[in-house]
Amino acid sequence: MRTRIATLIVVSALLVVSGCASLQTRSAFDKRAPAASGARSGDAGPDVRGAGGQAPATEATDEPPHIQPDRPDVTNSTYIVPTHLAQLETGARYGRVPVSGQSIATPVSLRIGVADWLEARLDTDGVTRAGGESPSGLQFAGLAVGGKLELWQAHRGTPAVAVQPAVTLPVGRGADGGTDYSLTLIASADLSRRTHLDVNYGLGAIAAGQSHFAQHLLSASGNVAIGAKWSPYVEVYWFSRLDPGGPRVLSMDAGAMYTLNERLAVDGGVLCGLAAPDAHPAVLAGLSVIVGEIAGHKGVHARLLEARRRGRQ
């Protein structure tokens, strides 16, 4: 625990010195089903990512362990990728914006388990277009470098808690692009044997020319396990603003995660903005896969079983 607290203090200090913490509205969603059977990143919003549950240590393990993506919604879960496993999550979002044309994003996340309580990650919304029919409207969203740190697990009715710091580098953003800084607080809880809830609060310092502006995120995502494969979800999220002088953004999305096997899951959903400037529908879909083991000789299945025994899946 001392090591975790020390790591958190160092990371937080670096973010504050850099310029405060910025929201990473990651394409992410850990669509993991709750304790009963387990199941749940992706792109659902302006810069988007999931819901994951913490199965009680006493829960039966009749269902085989499987991949736990951090997509397709904005809200992330406290789930940590098992040690030495590499998990790749990718997807696409497409919408039609009135007057201005198309809105697209192609999010990609690479998550690597470093310790039982820590994962390293690279995230990007990839190629994006905010609107307009011209190919010149395409741009790269930048590359977020960060991680997720588990502070404590669910215990006696209290939720699991984690933090996710990130620094978004202006890779491919052009001369006017800047560096964003983010810190997101994550809470996850099982409401019943088949229902799960994740809540996020994010605070960010977002680059705008030569300066930064503060951005807040508040989101909640709930999902329910249907059998061993399906995990439908519903999410509502709010951004204080996307631009220095921009309005608040309120949106909701709904969809489902389908687990094909322990290494592979697919997802899909629909996004609907409830307030400008995101008041238009969009569709999203994605694929998540455990690409292999980075070190050691236990194998994917053994790593997932180990994580379940420790109450992390």
DSSP string, 185-235: EEEEEESSSSEEEEEEEEEEEEEETTEEEEEEEEEEEEEE-BTTTEEEEEE
The predicted structure's pLDDT at residue 184: 98
Cβ atoms 108, 128 nearer than 8 A: no
SS3 of 42-78: the string is CCCCCCCCCCCCCCCCCCCCCCCCCCCCCCCCCCCCC
Q: How far is it, in rounded angstroms, from Cα 134 to Cα 307?
A: 47
Put simply, whether the predicted model's pTM sits higher than 0.85 gets the answer: no
**Superfamily in which the 2-309 domain is placed by CATH:** monomeric porin ompg (2.40.160.40)
The per-residue pLDDT string of the chain (313 residues; one tens digit each, 9 = 90 and over) reads 545 544 544 444 444 334 433 333 333 333 333 333 233 333 333 333 333 433 333 344 456 788 999 999 899 999 999 999 999 999 999 887 655 567 888 999 999 999 999 999 999 988 887 655 455 567 777 899 999 999 999 888 899 999 999 999 988 766 667 899 999 999 999 999 899 999 999 999 999 888 999 999 999 999 999 988 999 999 999 999 988 888 898 999 999 999 999 999 999 999 988 876 556 789 999 999 998 877 666 788 888 888 877 765 5
Q: What are the residues whose beta carbons fall under 8 Å from the beta carbon of 44, sequence distance 6 or more? A: 27, 29, 72, 73, 74, 93, 235, 237, 251, 253, 255, 269, 271, 284
Cβ atoms 289, 87 nearer than 8 A: yes
Q: How far is it, in rounded angstroms, from Cα 154 to Cα 77?
A: 12
Q: Where are the domains of the chain?
A: 2-309
The predicted structure's pLDDT at residue 17: 38
The predicted structure's pLDDT at residue 279: 66
The predicted structure's pLDDT at residue 99: 53
Q: How far is it, in rounded angstroms, from Cα 208 to Cα 180?
A: 9
Find where tokens 């909701």 sit: 252
